[in-house]
Structure 1
Amino acid sequence: MSLHPPPFPAAGAAPDAVAFQRDELSVILSLYGRMVAAGEWRDYGISTLRDRAVFSVFRRTAEHPLYRIEKQPRLRARQGMYSVTGMDGQILKRGHDLRQVLRVLERKLIRPVGD
C-alpha cells in the first residue's frame, strides 16, 4: 500500500504561490479603471509567483509593462510588502499600505487645466 500526499495543503502550510486578496485587487482595479477611462492604460496582466504577486500595467498589449504593482510578503516587516516599479525597473514607491503606495500612480491622473 502506498501513501499519497493529501490533495490540499495542510492547515498552516505555506502556499505554492503568493496572490492578491480580493480587497487588494479591488483597490488596484479601481485605479486601473480610472486610468483606462483617462486613456492612459489599456491592458493588464497578473502573475502569481512563489515569492511575489505582480499586477503589470500596459499601454499596449505587445509592450513591456509601464508599471508593476508587486506584493512581496517577505518584506512585510521591513520596507513594506507593496511596491510600484516603473518601466526602467526603478522602485517609485514602497510601503505597508497599498492605497498609499498607489498614490504615486494617481498623480498621473491630475493634469493642469490650460487657459
Structure 2
Amino acid sequence: MNELAGETMLRRLPVDDRTRTTCEGCHGELVWATTVAGPNGRGGKLMPLDPLENLAGNVAVTTPHRGRLLARVLTKDEAFDRPHEYAAMPHFASCPTRTKPELPQDVVALQQLRHKPRRRGGRHR
C-alpha cells in the first residue's frame, strides 16, 4: 500500500493487454477476471472489473499468474487482504449506461405484489 500525506494511493490492477477491453456502453476501459468458487456460487466465470482499485468494491482480486486475475466476491462480513489482494469494483455496478428499465404505467413490479407466506395452522399429533 502506498501512502502519501495520509491518503491511500489506488493501484491499477496488474493485467496484460490481452485482458483489457472497452465497455460497449460507456466505452470505458475494463479488465476481465475469472471468478473462484466460494459461498456465493461456482467459479470459472468471467467478470468485468474497473481497471483501478476501488476500496468501496466488493471483489477481492489476486494475481497468481502474471496477467491473469482471479476474483472472489466478498460477503458482508469478509474483508480483503490489503497487501496481497486488490479491492475491485465490478464494471456492471459502476457503468453509467447500465440503468434499470422503467416499467410502463400500467405494469406493477413483482416485488410490490410479493408478501410473506402465511403459516398454515394445523394440529400436531
| Larger relative helix fraction | 1
- Bigger-Rg structure (1/2): 2
TM over 0.5: no
Q: TM-score range by the shorter chain?
A: under 0.3
What TM-score, normalized by structure 1, do the two folds share? 0.23
What TM-score, normalized by structure 2, do the two folds share? 0.22
